[in-house]
Amino acid sequence: MNIKEEMAIAIAEIGNIKPWFSKEDQMFVFESPVYSRVMGAGNTVKEAVESYSRALYSFIEYRIKGKICKVVESDTIGTAGKQKQKKAS
């Protein structure tokens, strides 16, 4: 699997990354139900987008390596980096 191709799949699944301002946290944040365990935050919209992109990249990298726990895997709707199921012989 090529991680750049997998990132393109993830971005297509997520759509436009538009952080919102959290009054409680006093920063811009972004998360998507497609990759529910991935979050980005920053003092500016640009920082939040960059933070989310780095977190998503790391998530996909770990997923490709098979290092995502079953609970997180079951919560994740997105398909980028997902291990292909081997067919029973």
- For the cut 90, the answer to whether the pLDDT of residue 32 exceeds it is yes
- For the cut 60, the answer to whether the pLDDT of residue 24 exceeds it is yes
Is residue 74 very low, low, confident or very high in pLDDT (cuts 50, 70, 90)?
confident
Is residue 52 very low, low, confident or very high in pLDDT (cuts 50, 70, 90)?
very high
- For the cut 90, the answer to whether the pLDDT of residue 88 exceeds it is no
Mean pLDDT taken over the chain: 91
Rounded Cα gap, residues 24 and 85, in angstroms: 42
Look at residue 17 in the predicted model and tell me its pLDDT: 96
